[in-house]
């Protein structure tokens, strides 16, 4: 493992968390408390947003929350196993702010909603015979899918929409419990099978979780559950496998385009299942093979540069995760990146301040092709003290590897190809929303650029895998397999740390005032 701060190592040691944990830097907390976004040059940028109620940002110091976020992500990849709402139908239960996406005009495509701060991205799915609407986070780092159940009594569930047997005539209890571990609790409940519609033209029977107990962390977020888009097997049936077997798509591929809130009300974010939407990118797609030793969406990063100056921060694994907001990396690699950024400074090697008027992209290089990340994304707006920070954090959330979240993904069109085990990136189309050549666009196979990269193992021998921390137990002594697919062999996975290591880690963390 690369050397890092004691805080980082303790965060990794004590982690027992998964999926979406609130990492709220000071600038984001300030932003959440406003109705508009302040740009770095103090110009006001506003957007329309459907507000159901107030979100509840974390009040913890950024350094402590950053460490806990790294711990959450470490467990997630642990080895072992704006709009005013005037034209929106009412959704009972959910109390949060949502910047809803435009209705896509491409087949097999769902609009990607967000919370108005680029913090979380989710789609509205329809469940059961009554097609009840639920928001589900799109998470390429999760193998399990679940929604909040009607029997849930947690505080977070009271603020969200829920789903249960009373909502559908076709609801079938699977007779199995599921549990997903968190550092501050867990999500647990029962598996069920019912119809899920992720687009108007993609509906199929799917076994997933109905949570009856959730961590209070979910009070902070608008989504009602998580849609696992990893190739991993989790507590629920693997979504991509079941989708592929349904016959609704020709290829086990999906393409994603995320909207940036400061670009205005016209949220054109979308996910297309079965292929790539040619109108949303320009040029060729550069594909890089996924690490063959894992079922995660992980590829090799060549380098990160600024103003043409390479940092030498590449040659290691990079996890591509729609369920992560920012970018995390080993402290020494993050330091190398900021060494080529004019005016970047850090007191702790974790968080870096940068000049607010810096107008340079960071270039992430994959398969020999560079993809620019706009300063609008990698540099934060000013916080209440007038300080701008980098959204590239020196936290080794995944041991010896980069973790690239939405800070990066907002700048590319991303294609996740489960058939060929590869990830592709292309430049976003600047005029995709103006393409009216066809009133009904179809999904077409995405052409690959001639520069297709191959995953090359790094020298980090102890790079982690990517299984979730979760368990599935049967209340009937055994789980039924789905009609088209046998039950997953990974229905019982290792949780957390060993009994010996955990007390040591907790004691060390307590000694340094982390609790």
pLDDT at 217: 81
pLDDT higher at 34 or 373: 373
- For 176-229, the pLDDT digits (tens) are 999 887 445 578 999 999 999 999 999 999 999 999 999 888 888 899 999 999
Half-sphere CA count of 413, side-chain side, radius 13 A: 25
Which residues on neighbouring strands pair with residue 273, listed in sequence order?
A: 254
* Residue 238: Cβ-neighbour burial (10 angstroms; 0-12, 13-18, 19+): buried
- Two tokens, residue 99: 């910047």
Cβ distance 138 to 321 under 8 Å? no
- For 246-259, the pLDDT digits (tens) are 999 999 999 999 99
- For 98-150, the pLDDT digits (tens) are 999 999 999 999 999 998 989 999 999 999 999 999 999 999 998 889 999 99
pLDDT at 264: 84
List C-alpha distances in Å: 37 to 50, 61, 122, 266, 354: 15, 22, 21, 15, 19
**Mean pLDDT of the chain, nearest integer:** 76
Chain-centroid distance, C-alpha 435? 28
3-state secondary structure of 114: strand
How far apart CA 329 and CA 392 sit, in angstroms, is: 8
pLDDT at 24: 63
Q: What is the mean pLDDT of residues 403-418?
A: 98
**E strand or H helix at 121, and its extent?**
strand 121-127
Range in 49-58, 103-112, 353-362, 450-459 the model is least confident about: 49-58
Q: What is the mean pLDDT of residues 462-479?
A: 37
Choose the catalytic residue: 81, 115, 139, 417: 139
Which residues on neighbouring strands pair with residue 109, listed in sequence order?
A: 272
Range in 35-49, 273-287, 449-463, 496-510 the model is least confident about: 496-510
Tokens 């209440």 correspond to what residue? 384
- Two tokens, residue 365: 């290089």
pLDDT at 470: 44
pLDDT higher at 295 or 37: 295
Which residues on neighbouring strands pair with residue 194, listed in sequence order?
A: 206
- Antiparallel, parallel or unpaired: β 185-199 and 172-182: antiparallel
**pLDDT tier, 96 (very low <50, low <70, confident <90, very high otherwise):** confident
Q: What is the mean pLDDT of residues 364-388?
A: 96
- Answer yes or no: pTM beyond 0.85: no
Cβ distance 122 to 137 under 8 Å? yes
Q: What is the mean pLDDT of residues 353-360?
A: 97
pLDDT at 233: 81
- Two tokens, residue 325: 């907001």
How far apart CA 182 and CA 14 sit, in angstroms, is: 11
How far apart CA 64 and CA 325 sit, in angstroms, is: 17
Range in 8-12, 174-178, 193-197, 470-474 the model is least confident about: 8-12
- Antiparallel, parallel or unpaired: β 132-139 and 225-228: parallel
- For 304-316, the pLDDT digits (tens) are 999 999 999 999 9
Q: Check pLDDT > 80 for residue 333.
A: yes
**pLDDT tier, 511 (very low <50, low <70, confident <90, very high otherwise):** very low
**pLDDT tier, 37 (very low <50, low <70, confident <90, very high otherwise):** very low
**pLDDT tier, 46 (very low <50, low <70, confident <90, very high otherwise):** very low
Q: Check pLDDT > 70 for residue 1.
A: no
- For 283-329, the pLDDT digits (tens) are 999 999 999 989 999 999 999 999 999 999 999 999 999 999 999 99
**pLDDT tier, 77 (very low <50, low <70, confident <90, very high otherwise):** low
Q: Check pLDDT > 70 for residue 262.
A: yes
**pLDDT tier, 86 (very low <50, low <70, confident <90, very high otherwise):** very low
- Two tokens, residue 374: 């706009």
Cβ distance 349 to 328 under 8 Å? no
Q: Quick one: which of 219, 217, 225, 261 has its CA closest to 55? A: 219
> Known catalytic residue: 139?
yes
**pLDDT tier, 39 (very low <50, low <70, confident <90, very high otherwise):** very low
3-state secondary structure of 100: coil
End-to-end CA separation in angstroms for the chain: 25
Choose the catalytic residue: 321, 377, 383, 406: 321
The beta-strand segments (E) located in 236-315 are 253-257, 270-273, 281-289, 298-301, 303-306, 309-310
Domains of the chain: 6-82+255-434 (2.40.70.10), 123-251+468-501 (2.40.70.10)
């Amino acid at each position: 493992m690369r050397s890092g701060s004691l805080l980082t190592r303790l965060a990794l040691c004590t982690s027992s968390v998964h999926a979406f944990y609130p990492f709220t830097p000071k600038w984001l907390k300030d932003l959440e408390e406003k109705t508009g976004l302040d740009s770095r040059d103090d110009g006001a940028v506003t957007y329309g947003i459907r507000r159901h109620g107030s979100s509840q940002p974390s009040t913890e110091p950024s350094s402590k929350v950053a460490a806990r976020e790294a711990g959450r992500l470490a467990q997630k990849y642990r080895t072992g196993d704006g709009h005013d709402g005037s034209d929106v139908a009412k959704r009972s239960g959910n109390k949060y702010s949502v910047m809803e996406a435009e209705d896509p005009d491409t087949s097999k495509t769902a609009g990607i909603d967000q919370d108005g701060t680029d913090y979380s991205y989710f789609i509205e799915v329809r469940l059961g015979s009554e097609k009840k609407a639920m928001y589900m986070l799109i998470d390429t780092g999760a193998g399990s899918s679940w929604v909040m159940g009607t029997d849930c009594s947690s505080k977070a569930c009271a603020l969200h929409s829920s789903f249960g047997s009373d909502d559908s005539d076709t609801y079938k209890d699977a007779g199995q419990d599921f549990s997903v571990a968190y550092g501050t609790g867990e999500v647990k409940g029962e598996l069920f099978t019912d119809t899920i519609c992720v687009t108007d033209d993609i509906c199929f029977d799917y076994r997933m979780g109905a949570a009856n107990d959730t961590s209070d962390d979910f009070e902070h977020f608008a989504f009602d559950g998580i849609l696992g888009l990893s190739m991993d097997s989790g507590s629920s049936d693997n979504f991509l496998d079941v989708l592929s077997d349904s016959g609704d798509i020709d290829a086990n591929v999906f393409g994603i385009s995320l909207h940036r809130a400061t670009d205005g009300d016209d949220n054109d974010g979308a996910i297309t299942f079965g292929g790539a939407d040619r109108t949303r990118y320009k040029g060729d797609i550069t594909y890089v093979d996924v690490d063959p030793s894992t079922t995660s969406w992980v590829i090799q990063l060549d380098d990160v540069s600024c103003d043409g100056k390479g940092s030498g921060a590449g040659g290691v694994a990079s996890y591509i995760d729609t369920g992560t907001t920012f970018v995390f990396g080993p402290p020494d690699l993050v330091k190398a990146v900021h060494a080529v950024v004019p005016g970047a400074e850090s007191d702790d090697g974790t968080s870096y301040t940068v000049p607010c008027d810096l107008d340079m992209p960071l270039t992430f290089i994959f398969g020999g092709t560079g993809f620019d990340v706009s300063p609008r994304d990698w540099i934060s707006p000013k916080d209440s003290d007038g300080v701008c920070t980098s959204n590239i954090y020196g936290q080794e959330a995944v041991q010896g590897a980069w973790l690239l979240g939405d800070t990066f993904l907002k700048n590319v069109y991303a294609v996740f190809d489960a058939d060929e085990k590869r990830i592709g990136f292309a430049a976003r189309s600047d005029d995709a929303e103006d393409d009216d050549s066809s009133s009904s666009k179809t999904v077409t196979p995405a052409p690959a650029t001639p520069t297709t990269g191959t995953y090359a193992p790094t020298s980090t021998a102890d790079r982690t895998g990517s299984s979730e921390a979760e368990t599935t137990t049967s209340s009937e002594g055994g789980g039924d397999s789905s009609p088209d697919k046998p039950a997953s062999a990974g229905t019982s996975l290792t949780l957390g740390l060993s009994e010996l290591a955990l007390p040591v880690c907790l004691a060390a963390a307590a000694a340094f005032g982390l609790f």
